[in-house]
Amino acid sequence: MSGERFQDGTVVEKKSSRTKPPPLFQVVLLNDDFTPMEFVVGVLQKFFGKGREQATQIMLKVHHEGRGVCGVYPRDVAATKVEQVCSYARQHQHPLQCVMEEA
């Protein structure tokens, strides 16, 4: 650590030595041709705390545009959501894909 030191002992840190805020990650759902729409709406409600209306809007966006953001979280939370969604989809034999990307 380095910084400018004043007579009263105050140290003004240089910008580069300040602690950075932790990075955030988007959890993104990807479209496919097989997962039922109703299942995707259920996933958005169960794992992302969305209400039925917002869940339906996000599902339709993914269906039409190929991908959509379900939420933004710190790294560990995002990784857990991705794991939970993938595992839940596999349990139900659906090919639904979910990934995380730095926001």
Residue 37 binds ligand TYC (CB under 6 A):
yes
Q: How far is it, in rounded angstroms, from Cα 20 to Cα 5?
A: 22
Residues 58-97 that bind ligand TYC (CB under 6 A): 59, 62-63, 96
- Cβ at position 24, least distance to ligand TYC in Å: 21
Judge contact between 100 and 79, C-beta under 8 A.
Answer: yes
Q: How many residues bind to ligand TYC according to rule CB under 6 A?
A: 13
What DSSP state is assigned to residue 10? -
* Encoded tokens for 33: 């041709």
- Cβ at position 78, least distance to ligand TYC in Å: 17
